[in-house]
Amino acid sequence: MIEKQFKLLQKLIDKCVKRDYDAVSEAFSMKKNYLKGEQRLDYIRKEIFRITEEIVSINLKNPALKTFAFDWHIPNFIWESSFYENLTTDERKKYIAFPYENFDDKLYIENPTSYDESLPYFSVIVKLVVYSKFLEDLQKEEQERMLPLTTINTAVEPKETASKNIVGKENPFNCKLNNDAFQLLTNCVNNARIFTTEITPQILEDFFYCRLSGALKSANNKLLAYFMMKLSMQRHITFEWQSVIANNKLVIAPKKEKYLNNSDLSSANDSIKYIPPKKSEIIDKYVKQLKKH
């Protein structure tokens, strides 16, 4: 009985997600058509930052939905995730008792929060999944638009020629990481959630060679500082990493639309000298593995 009702809830959510996602995607495509080249890429990145902030805000305000951050793409995620366990007894009863066949699409379209009392979090769940799907598409498009730039750079200066040991303008971080190391550290950065969006090995390499067309956004300055400090201590990058980030405008602050400067990074670095930040153990694990590469 309980599982059957939650499967009906899933069908309802899937239907609303599809309709709302199509509307968001269509609106984005229309706006995008008015932009060219770098303007379009810049707009995509701003949308990535905006949507990420929305997702984070939803999760902070609704702890019961945090499980969906990783499970939303799973079929029947409402039942298969730990969402049911996170609900109160009263919330569970509402979901079980709801007459799903009487759901009024028109009422929901006119006011998405109409059913939030009888179906707790309903409009927020739909919004969270729509934003998660949209963010995934934005990130793919960002990478596709960066690919031609990467191809041009490779044609002018082959990857092997652009050695990881070059020092100077072409390698301000004095980066000594190889391709395997970038793959490993990409998993580190994403698992520790150092930036607000997931990155790829290519994006991380572009970051360390200051080739980013734009900037990444810090999710936690202390974690970012700890990550960079650990790499510098192992001599994978320069000890002057703070200045490189600031001078090349590589990272945007978590809460303000401004680039991190030397003062921001210095403060974050000072705060971790005696008390490692949460999730520092994730960084320690991956950096330790670098010795094998």
Q: How far apart are CA 184 and CA 167, in angstroms?
A: 23
pLDDT at 39: 84
* Same domain for 39 and 112: yes
In a domain? residue 144: no
Dump pLDDT digits (tens) for 60-110: 899 888 778 767 888 889 998 888 988 999 999 999 999 999 999 999 999
Dump pLDDT digits (tens) for 141-166: 877 766 544 434 433 333 333 334 33
Assigned token pair, 226: 């700890």
The answer to whether 271 touches 222, Cβ cutoff 8 Å, is yes
- In Å, how far are 56, 128, 171, 205, 292 from 141, measured between CA atoms? 21, 20, 27, 18, 33
Residue 138, amino acid: L
Distant-in-sequence, close-in-space partners of 113: CB < 8 Å, separation ≥ 6: 123
* Same domain for 282 and 168: yes
* Same domain for 170 and 103: no
pLDDT at 110: 94
In a domain? residue 145: no
Q: How far apart are CA 87 and CA 92, in angstroms?
A: 6
In a domain? residue 103: yes
In a domain? residue 143: no
Backbone CA torsion sign across 234, 237, 238, 240: negative
* Same domain for 282 and 170: yes
pLDDT at 70: 67
Assigned token pair, 138: 């934005």
Residue 18, φ and ψ in degrees, nearest 5: -60, -45
Q: Residues, the chain, total? A: 293
* Same domain for 164 and 134: no
* Same domain for 164 and 113: no
pLDDT at 170: 77
* Same domain for 163 and 133: no
Distance of CA 238 to the CA centre of its chain: 26
Q: Which domain holds residue 226?
A: 158-292
Say whether pLDDT at 226 is over 90.
yes
Q: How far apart are CA 184 and CA 20, in angstroms?
A: 36
The reported pTM is: 0.52
In a domain? residue 190: yes
Q: How far apart are CA 216 and CA 224, in angstroms?
A: 11
* Same domain for 210 and 112: no
pLDDT at 143: 74
Percent of the chain with pLDDT over 70: 89
In a domain? residue 49: yes
Residue in 195, 175, 243 with CA at minimum distance from that of residue 186: 195
Q: How far apart are CA 164 and CA 293, in angstroms?
A: 13
Average pLDDT value over all residues in the chain: 86
pLDDT at 293: 56
Continuous H helices in 112-261:
122-156, 179-192, 201-208, 221-233, 241-247
Number of domains in the chain: 2
Residue 272, amino acid: I
Average pLDDT in the 272-287 region?
Answer: 87
Dump pLDDT digits (tens) for 191-209: 999 999 999 999 999 999 9
